[in-house]
Structure 1
Amino acid sequence: MNKDQLGLEVQSEFNLVKDRSVFAGENFAIRFCRSKSKSFSNTVLALSKLQKYDRKPFIVCLVTPDTNYLLLANSTYLKKISHSSQELRVDNIKGSFNGSDIMREFEGVQNEPSNFEYLFTTHENFTFQENLQRLVTATNNIHPHGHKFVPNIEQLRCIRESVDRAIQFMNSNEYHILNEDLSTRVNKVSNEIAIAAFINNVNLRGRIIEYLITEEGNLQAALIDALHDKKPLPPIFTSDELGDYTRLFEHYLTETDIKTKVLFLSSNPKGYNIDKLLKFLSQENSVYLIYIIAIDAQKSISTQLCSMYNDQLRNNTRIIRHWAGRNSRGVTQYDGVALERIVTHFNNTISIPGSNEYIETLISL
Structure 2
Amino acid sequence: MSRLSELLQFVVTHHGLNDKAKLTKLVVEIFGLTRDRSLYYCDDFAIRFSSGAGSSFSNTILSLSNLKKVDHLPFLVCLVTPTENHVFLANTTLLRKISHSSQELRVDNIKGSFNGSDIIRDLEGITNEPANIQRLFDIHREIGFEGNLPRLVEWTNNIAPTGHKFVVLPEMEAMILDAPSRAAKFIISADAVTLKKELDERVERFNNEILVASMIENVNVRGRIIEYLIAGDDDALRERLITALQNRTTAKGLPAFRTENTLGDYQRIFDEYFTETDVKTKIMILSSNPKAYNLDKILEFLATEKSVFMFYFVGVDPARLVNTILVSMFQTDLLRSTILLKHWSGRNSRGVSQFEGQTIEALIKEPKYDVNKVSAIEFLKRLIAL
Match of 2:298 in 1: 277
Q: Is the 8 A contact 2:211 2:318 kept in 1?
A: no
| Residues 314 and 321 in structure 2, CA contact (< 8 A), matched pair in contact too | no
Alignment match of 1:351 (pick from 372, 380, 383):
372
174-183 or 32-41: which moved more?
32-41
Q: Is the 8 A contact 1:24 1:30 kept in 2?
A: yes
2:188 to 167, 171, 182: 171
How many Å separate the matches in 2 of 1:292 and 1:8?
46
User: Could you tell me which of 47, 56, 62 is aligned with 2:73?
Assistant: 56
Distance 1:226 1:30, change over 3 A: farther
User: Is the alpha carbon distance of 1:65 and 1:157 closer, same or farther for their aligned partners in structure 2, counting shifts above 3 Å?
Assistant: closer
* Residue number among 263, 268, 282 corresponding to 2:284 in the alignment: 263
1:157-236 alignment, distance < 5 Å: 157-215=174-232, 216-228=234-246, 229-231=248-250, 232=252, 233-236=254-257
Cα distance in 1, alignment partners of residues 221 and 73 from structure 2? 15
Q: Alpha-carbon deviations, 1:282-318, whole Å to 9, x = none?
A: 1122110011111235433311001112222222223
* SS in structure 2 at match of 1:124: helix
Separation in structure 1 between the aligned mates of residue 236 and residue 49 of structure 2, nearest angstrom: 49
Report 1:198-347 matches (<5 A). Answer: 198-215=215-232, 216-228=234-246, 229-231=248-250, 232=252, 233-347=254-368
TM-score by length of 2: 0.88
Equivalent residue number for residue 173 of structure 2: 156
Residues 63 and 195 of structure 1: CA distance in aligned 2, closer, same or farther (over 3 Å): farther
- Decide whether the 8 Å contact of 1:33 with 1:62 is kept in 2: yes
Q: Conserved in 2, the CA contact under 8 Å of 1:163 and 1:352?
A: yes
Within the alignment, does 1:125 sit opposite 2:142 as a pair?
yes
Map Cα deviations across residues 33-86 of structure 1 (whole Å, 9 max, x no partner). 232332211111110111111111111122234332211111000010000011
Once residues 55 and 168 of structure 2 are traced to their aligned partners in structure 1, the CA distance between those partners, rounded to angstroms, is 45
Question: Structure 2, unaligned stretches of length 5 or more?
Answer: 1-16
Question: What is the SS of the residue equivalent to 1:69?
Answer: strand
- Once residues 186 and 246 of structure 1 are traced to their aligned partners in structure 2, the CA distance between those partners, rounded to angstroms, is 16
Q: Look up the match of 1:45.
A: 62
Instruction: Determine helix, strand or coil for the equivalent of 1:292.
Output: strand
Deviation of residue 265 (structure 1)?
1.6
CA gap of 1:160–1:66, structure 2 versus 1, over 3 A, is: closer
Q: Distance between the aligned counterparts of 2:356 and 2:132, measured in 1?
A: 14
CA distance in 2 between partners of 1:106 and 1:251 (Å):
39
Amino acid at match of 2:145: F
- Whichever residue aligns with residue 317 of structure 1, its letter is T
Cα separation, partners in 2 of 1:4 and 1:236, compared to 1, 3 Å: farther
Segment drifting more, 196-205 vs 95-104: 196-205
> Secondary structure at the residue paired with 2:142?
coil
CA distance in structure 1 between the partners assigned to 2:276 and 2:74 by the alignment: 34
**What is the CA–CA distance in structure 2 between the aligned matches of 1:146 and 1:120, rounded to whole Å?**
28
Q: Mean Cα displacement is larger for which, 149-158 or 80-89?
A: 149-158
Please give the TM-score of this superposition, normalised by the length of structure 1.
0.93
Distance in 2, Cα, partners of 1:279 & 1:251: 19
* Seq. identity, %: 48
Q: 1:82 aligns with which of 99, 113, 125?
A: 99
Runs of 4+ in structure 1 deviating by more than 6 angstroms, as ranges, are none
Q: Relative to 1, partners in 2 of residues 1:11 and 1:218: Cα closer, same or farther, differing over 3 Å?
A: farther
Stretch deviating more after TM superposition (217-226 or 47-56): 217-226
C-alpha change, 1:29 and 1:223, in structure 2 (3 Å) is farther
Distance in 2 between the 1:127 and 1:211 partners?
A: 22
SS at match of 2:53: coil
CA distance in 2, matches of 1:219, 1:6: 55
For structure 1, which runs of at least 5 residues remain unmatched after alignment?
none
For residues 25 and 180 of structure 1, do their structure 2 counterparts lie closer, same or farther at Cα, with a shift above 3 Å needed? same
Structure 1 residues 41 and 91: alpha-carbon distance in aligned structure 2, compared to 1, 3 A threshold: same
2:111 & 2:306 partners in 1: Cα distance? Answer: 48
Q: CA distance change for structure 1 residues 295 and 99 in 2, over 3 Å: closer, same or farther?
A: same
Question: Is the 2:231–2:279 Cα contact (8 Å) retained in structure 1?
Answer: no
Please tell me the root mean square deviation across aligned C-alpha atoms, in Å. Answer: 2.0
